[in-house]
């Protein structure tokens, strides 16, 4: 859990072969010190999570150069000979926030990360949503007023989808600098809050989560939270009449608490599930 991670390492994501080899070397080092029962992998996607598929455990149409159709599970399983379980980084982070973080007291919620890209993981009645694939919330289409915001969008697949308009890469492309370098009162943040609230409105209407947890580097801008809450109320326009939204919005749209460890702890939680079957 958050208080007793035995070891942690970080290294750049380079080529699949080099990155996977570094991960395996770290895991072998840990296995020499203590028995490992399973490995959890929390990865960017899209991922093939269908056990019946010939490419189960593969990255598929990822925009990350050199990583399409890469087997993530096979090399780790072959190297260590123990169960390996895979899910998206946002699904894993949602699992971790449910077990140890900002969603510990609700079983139906959505976790959204706003960083270089945008991704979302949804838990309903204590179970992560999977279906044909897995949620790809960052690629929802949201209204784009090109007169007010002529930016074309940064997504290589869809241009001005939610990620293409509101991810950290979009902020940098639109304003000419990373969000961390913009002042807290910059006009960029009003626009960012508007786009984030548009996407969250869709999620509220589609999934009816009991809470929305926001993480990722862009959400380190604390001034975004009141702006998003205000904009969400405006966009819902009184349609969703529940106290959580009308009276306790500061408890409904909340920051992630596990921050940089959310993905790591999510992978731990996935591995625990593989061993014990616990939810």
What's residue 43's pLDDT? 93
Which residue, 80, 4, 11, 98, is CA-closest to 40?
80
When computed from its CA atoms, the radius of gyration of the chain, rounded to whole angstroms, is: 19
CA dihedral 191, 195, 196, 197 (to 10 degrees): 100
Q: List pLDDT tens digits, range 117-135.
A: 999 999 999 999 887 778 7
What separation in angstroms does the CA of 159 have from each of 140, 152, 153, 246?
A: 11, 6, 5, 34
- 54 in Cβ contact with 278 (< 8 Å): no
Q: List pLDDT tens digits, range 168-187.
A: 999 999 999 999 999 999 99
Strand-pairing partners, residue 114, are 118
Q: Give the dihedral sign, CA 250/252/253/255.
A: positive
Report the side by side order of strands in the sheet with 212-215. 127-128, 118-124, 109-114, 212-215, 253-255
Q: Collapse the DSSP code of 95 into the 3-class scheme (helix H, G, I; strand E, B; otherwise coil) and give the result.
A: helix
Strand-pairing partners, residue 128, are 123
Backbone angles phi, psi at 86, to 5 degrees: -125, 140
Measured from the Cβ of residue 183, the count of other Cβ atoms closer than 10 Å reads 9
What's residue 64's pLDDT? 84
- Full-model pTM: 0.91
What's residue 278's pLDDT? 65
What's residue 82's pLDDT? 94
What's residue 204's pLDDT? 96
- 278 in Cβ contact with 40 (< 8 Å): no
159: left (phi over 0), alpha (psi -120 to 50) or beta: left
Q: Which segments of the chain have a pLDDT < 70?
A: 278-279
- 117 in Cβ contact with 163 (< 8 Å): yes
Backbone angles phi, psi at 257, to 5 degrees: -105, -20
Backbone angles phi, psi at 47, to 5 degrees: -125, 150
Strand-pairing partners, residue 43, are 88
Strand-pairing partners, residue 84, are 39
- 63 in Cβ contact with 20 (< 8 Å): no
Q: How far does CA 111 lie from the centroid of its chain?
A: 7
What's residue 161's pLDDT? 97
């Amino acid at each position: 859990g958050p208080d007793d991670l035995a070891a942690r390492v970080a290294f750049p994501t380079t080529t699949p072969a080099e990155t996977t080899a570094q991960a395996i070397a770290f895991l072998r080092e840990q296995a020499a010190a203590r028995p490992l029962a399973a490995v959890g992998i929390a990865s960017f996607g899209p991922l093939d999570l269908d056990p019946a598929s010939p490419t189960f455990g593969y990255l598929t149409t990822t925009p990350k150069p050199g990583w399409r159709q890469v087997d993530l599970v096979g090399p780790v399983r072959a190297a260590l000979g123990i169960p390996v379980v895979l899910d998206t980084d946002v699904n894993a982070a949602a699992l971790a926030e449910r077990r140890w973080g900002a969603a510990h007291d609700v079983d139906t919620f959505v976790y959204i990360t706003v960083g270089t890209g945008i991704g979302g993981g949804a838990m309903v009645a204590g179970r992560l949503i999977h279906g044909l694939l897995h949620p790809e919330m960052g690629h929802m289409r949201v209204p784009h007023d090109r007169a007010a915001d002529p930016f074309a969008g940064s997504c290589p697949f869809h241009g001005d989808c939610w990620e293409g308009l509101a991810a950290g890469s979009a902020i940098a492309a639109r304003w000419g600098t990373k969000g961390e370098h913009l002042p807290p009162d910059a006009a960029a943040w009003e626009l960012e809050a508007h786009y984030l609230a548009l996407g969250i409105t869709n999620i509220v209407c589609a999934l009816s989560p009991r809470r929305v947890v926001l993480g990722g580097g862009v959400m380190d801008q604390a001034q975004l939270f009141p702006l998003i809450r205000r904009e969400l109320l405006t966009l819902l326009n009184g349609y969703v009449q529940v106290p959580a939204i009308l009276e306790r919005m500061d408890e409904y749209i909340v920051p992630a608490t596990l921050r940089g460890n959310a993905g790591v702890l999510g992978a731990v939680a996935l591995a625990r599930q593989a061993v014990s079957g616990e939810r």
